[in-house]
Amino acid sequence: MIEPLLPAAFLANGLCAGVLVGSMLGVVPYYRTLSEGDYIRAHAFSVGRYDPFQPICLLITVAADVAAAVAADGAARLLCASAAALAAAVIAVTLTRNLPMNRRIRRVDPDAPAGFRAGPFLRRWAAWHALRTALAVLALLVNAAAVGVLL
């Protein structure tokens, strides 16, 4: 039963981690070059494309890893359960930190960003984003170890 579960978790986890790493390497540095209004527009553009994809990948990762942990035994069980917990932590950071910030920036008019300062906002958002990226990559490494144990 674990045969279809672990590849699904590994694939979904890898896609999510890849998107998060890609945005850390390219999107966040690009954001730092923008004026307030342009940053607000760019953020809205990016969020509208990543948000539908990332949660689906994370939910698949958690569900498949939990199911794999139930089906496995020994080290594979521990590794799958750990990967599920790490992916769940990505969800928690996203829901409690990044998502509220995304909602806040959505309410700012890019043509009149009265009082909005992109620099401090981006630093806070990027710090939480870096944490969830690290958690997703760590989950991927743990999933890779689980695959290795089962090979």
First CA to last CA across the chain, in angstroms? Answer: 15
Q: What is the pLDDT of residue 51?
A: 78
Contact 149, 75 (CB under 8 A): yes
Regions of the chain with pLDDT less than 50: none
Tokens for 132, please give them.
């969830």
Torsion of CA 97, 103, 109, 110, to 10 degrees: 50
Q: Is 0.85 topped by the overall pTM?
A: yes
Amino acid at 136: A
Structurally, the chain folds into a number of domains equal to 1
DSSP for 97-125, please give it. IIHHHHHHHHTS-TT--TT--HHHHHHHH
Q: What is the pLDDT of residue 9?
A: 97
Q: What is the pLDDT of residue 56?
A: 95
Vertex 1 angle, CA 150 and 88, to 5°? 75
Q: What is the pLDDT of residue 60?
A: 98
- The domain of 14 spans 2-150
Q: What is the pLDDT of residue 70?
A: 97
Q: What is the pLDDT of residue 1?
A: 78
Query: How far apart are the C-alpha atoms of 72 and 59, rounded to whole Å?
Result: 20
